[in-house]
């Protein structure tokens, strides 16, 4: 009988893990993320009966709200979800508390500590605490210091801190921030979040690659000619100009989300599915990645900025006309670039990354294009046969498809391309959870597998250092090029691929 090697450590590890009694403390509770993502994700976990009955959420911000006010503000922001589950919300909302606190004022953190003691007794949360820093990045370091000074991170088994992106602004500041937070807590208490890793389809990249035998032998430079990773959005900067003006697409999307997609697509198989084996492989991969031209980075990167567009009836503003944006802003809302990975598996295979706001379609995908068949025996519809492509659709229409040539019906021997498709919706029939649902549960379970480790974050920043320095020191060498709202970015992004005889896939 054929034997299958089963890793005993893996069995049962991921399924229905039980979150221990828990108090989740959200700093920045009056901010957008709390009512748009965090509390809805917690409510979802509650409805799925995955939260323990000994549970509390404590919102913290400077505003002098009461528990009641916090509850009613969350209820107002989540009205449409709550209207479908009013009774569940009533019960869930009784676990919401609020304590005014300011991470830059240590006295308020000490006071918070006392409140947490009392909530601990009231809700039997047994001192298990997850602190979520959904605050301005300027407070990540000082916030951790204030928590540590108040003794709130002292218990390495029962306390942890989740830190939102961006983790640093460049390689140097990320190193410094790592140094600071690591003086306040052990690495296994630090959860650097990237919400893309919470997406079902992003995790599926691992399962697709490492739970099937057919992909591994061809997942390398011998068979794959290039890889394209796209994260396109239709939205503009919305109300986030204050943040976005200091960030731009490179820091906002590429350094984190696209780089994580790159790491999962290209990394080696870990020996085991445990946090450190996984993160070792990702870190190794990122350490081997390089811009295609580090000496002249402007030759392998394109920056764009959306200009006005839309129709005469519903025109849309250009980036520079958005509220809060500098009318002469040179912040990029679009980036396309070419990378290489200097290792045995990928040497010479270009990886193209692109992301942008106000593009024609919301779509995130990874496209692996295979090498051409060595000999063309058949006439192909359209002139030459299309090359095989494997498309991993991250969102929307989550799934995957494989494009290959078949015989076109008829008496001749012409080939034409068809798609074999897998759709999450059709196969499983239920929408997958928001990334934050999975990631919040994992943090409360103290499972860092889907969180980024210090060396990974630093490697990701180091990868883009030549570009960041160029933009800082001689921005005229890589100016932002305007692209009309609703188009696929500046023409120069097409030339980046055309120079290699390629085109971007039009999703
Ligand atoms: C965030 C960025 O991290 O990701 C936003 O700050 C972006 O600018 C968002 O819109 C995209 O996430 P998603 O899950 O909608 O693809």
d(CA 238, CA 100): 28
CA dihedral 149, 152, 156, 158 (to 10 degrees): 180
Establish if 295 belongs to a structural domain.
yes
> Exposure string (b/e) for 256-275, b if CB count within 10 Å is 16 or more?
bbbbbbbbbbbbeebeebbb
pLDDT in the model for residue 2: 43
SS3 state at 193:
coil
Using the 3D structure, point to which of 148, 164, 180 is the last residue of a domain: 164
Q: Do 130 and 218 belong together in one domain?
A: no
Establish if 506 belongs to a structural domain.
no
Establish if 62 belongs to a structural domain.
yes
Structure confidence by residue, pLDDT tens digits, 112-144: 999 999 999 999 999 999 999 999 999 999 999
pLDDT in the model for residue 5: 46
Q: For helices 200-210 and 435-444, give the axis angle rounded to 10 degrees.
A: 80
Q: Do 202 and 159 belong together in one domain?
A: no
Q: Do 257 and 121 belong together in one domain?
A: no
The number of CA neighbours under 13 Å toward the Cβ of 285 is: 22
Ligand 1 atom nearest residue 252's Cα: 6
Does 109 have pLDDT greater than 70? yes
Please give the distance, rounded to the nearest whole angstrom, from the Cα atom of residue 231 to the centre of ligand 1. 9
Looking at 432-502, list the stretches that DSSP marks H as alpha helix, in order from N- to C-terminal side: 435-444, 454-473, 491-498
Q: Do 209 and 90 belong together in one domain?
A: no
Res. 310 pLDDT band, cuts 50 70 90: confident
**Percent of the chain topping pLDDT 90:** 87
Which residue in 37, 110, 104, 27 sits closest to 61, CA to CA? 27
pLDDT in the model for residue 15: 55
Using the 3D structure, point to which of 121, 141, 164 is the last residue of a domain: 164
d(CA 122, CA 41): 23
The CATH number that applies at residue 202 is 3.30.360.10
Q: Do 261 and 115 belong together in one domain?
A: no
Using the 3D structure, point to which of 119, 149, 164 is the last residue of a domain: 164
Give the E-state strand segments of 299-442 in sequence order: 301-310, 315-316, 334-341, 351-356, 363-370, 379-380, 389-395, 399-407, 414-423
Establish if 185 belongs to a structural domain.
no
Q: Do 31 and 148 belong together in one domain?
A: yes
Question: Cα-flanking dihedrals φ and ψ of residue 115, to 5°?
Answer: -65, -40
Q: Do 43 and 110 belong together in one domain?
A: yes
Establish if 38 belongs to a structural domain.
yes
Residues near ligand 1 (Cβ within 6 A) = 233, 252, 364
Res. 25 pLDDT band, cuts 50 70 90: very high
Structure confidence by residue, pLDDT tens digits, 369-390: 999 988 888 887 777 778 999 9
Give the closest residue (by CA) to ligand 1 atom 6.
252
Please give the distance, rounded to the nearest whole angstrom, from the Cα atom of residue 5 to the centre of ligand 1. 39
pLDDT in the model for residue 414: 87
Structure confidence by residue, pLDDT tens digits, 363-374: 999 999 999 988
d(CA 442, CA 458): 22
Q: Do 252 and 380 belong together in one domain?
A: yes
Number of domains in the chain: 2
Q: Do 364 and 249 belong together in one domain?
A: yes
Catalytic positions, please?
257
The DSSP output letter for 268 is P
- Residue 65 belongs to what domain range? 17-164
d(CA 230, CA 257): 10
251, 253, 261, 306, best to mutate for ligand 1 pocket (most atoms within 8 Å of CB) = 253
Establish if 43 belongs to a structural domain.
yes
Q: Do 160 and 211 belong together in one domain?
A: no
Give the closest residue (by CA) to ligand 1 atom 2.
252
Please give the distance, rounded to the nearest whole angstrom, from the Cα atom of residue 78 to the centre of ligand 1. 20
Establish if 175 belongs to a structural domain.
no
Mean pLDDT confidence for 16-28: 93
Q: Do 201 and 160 belong together in one domain?
A: no
Contact 265, 228 (CB under 8 A): no
Establish if 381 belongs to a structural domain.
yes
Instruction: Please name every residue paired with 306 in a beta bridge, in sequence order, or none if there are none.
Output: 483
Q: Do 211 and 79 belong together in one domain?
A: no
The CATH number that applies at residue 133 is 3.40.50.720
Please give the distance, rounded to the nearest whole angstrom, from the Cα atom of residue 121 to the centre of ligand 1. 38
Mean pLDDT confidence for 342-366: 97
Give the closest residue (by CA) to ligand 1 atom 13.
196
């Amino acid at each position: 009988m054929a034997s299958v090697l089963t890793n005993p450590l893996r069995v049962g590890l991921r399924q229905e893990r039980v979150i221990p009694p828990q108090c989740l403390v959200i700093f920045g509770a009056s901010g957008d993320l709390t009512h748009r993502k965090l509390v809805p994700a917690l409510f979802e976990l509650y409805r799925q009966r995955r939260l323990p009955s000994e549970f509390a959420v404590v919102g913290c911000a400077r505003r002098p709200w009461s528990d009641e006010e916090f509850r009613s503000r969350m209820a107002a922001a989540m009205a449409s979800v709550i209207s479908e589950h009013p009774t569940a919300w009533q019960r869930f909302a009784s676990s919401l508390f609020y304590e005014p606190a300011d991470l830059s004022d240590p006295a308020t953190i000490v006071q918070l500590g006392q409140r947490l003691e009392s909530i601990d007794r009231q809700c039997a949360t047994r001192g298990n605490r997850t602190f979520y820093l959904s605050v301005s990045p300027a407070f990540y370091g000082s916030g951790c210091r204030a928590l540590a000074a108040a003794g709130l991170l002292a218990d390495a088994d029962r306390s942890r801190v989740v830190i939102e992106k961006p983790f640093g602004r460049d390689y140097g500041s990320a190193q410094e921030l790592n140094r600071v937070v690591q003086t306040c807590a052990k690495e296994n208490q630090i959860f650097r979040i990237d919400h893309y890793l919470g997406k079902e389809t992003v995790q599926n990249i691992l399962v697709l690659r490492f739970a099937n035998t057919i992909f591994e032998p061809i997942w390398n430079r011998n068979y794959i000619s290039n890889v394209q990773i796209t994260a396109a959005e239709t939205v503009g900067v919305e109300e986030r100009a204050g943040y976005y003006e200091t960030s731009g697409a490179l820091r906002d999307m590429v350094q984190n989300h696209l780089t994580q997609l790159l790491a999962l697509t290209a990394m080696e198989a870990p020996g085991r599915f445990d946090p450190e084996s996984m993160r070792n492989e990702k870190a190794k991969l990122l350490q081997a990645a390089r811009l295609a031209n580090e000496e002249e980075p402007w030759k392998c990167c394109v920056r764009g900025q959306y200009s006005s567009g839309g129709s005469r009836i519903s025109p849309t503003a250009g980036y520079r006309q958005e509220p809060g944006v500098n009318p002469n802003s040179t912040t990029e809302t679009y980036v396309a670039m070419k990378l290489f990975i200097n290792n045995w598996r990928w040497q010479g295979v270009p990886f193209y990354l692109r992301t942008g706001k106000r593009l024609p379609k919301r779509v995130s995908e990874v496209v692996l294009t295979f090498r051409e068949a060595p000999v063309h025996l058949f006439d192909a519809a359209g002139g030459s046969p299309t090359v095989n492509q494997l498309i991993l659709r991250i969102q929307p229409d989550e799934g995957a498809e494989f494009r290959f040539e078949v015989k076109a019906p008829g008496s001749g021997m012409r080939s034409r391309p068809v798609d074999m498709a897998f759709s999450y919706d059709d196969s499983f029939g239920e929408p997958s959870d928001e990334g934050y649902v999975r990631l919040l549960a994992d943090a409360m379970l103290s499972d860092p597998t889907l969180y980024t480790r210090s060396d990974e974050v630093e490697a990701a920043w180091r990868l883009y250092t030549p570009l960041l320095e160029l933009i800082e020191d001689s921005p005229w060498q890589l100016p932002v090029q305007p692209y009309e709202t609703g188009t696929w970015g500046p023409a120069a992004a097409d030339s980046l691929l055309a120079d290699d005889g390629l085109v971007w896939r039009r999703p």
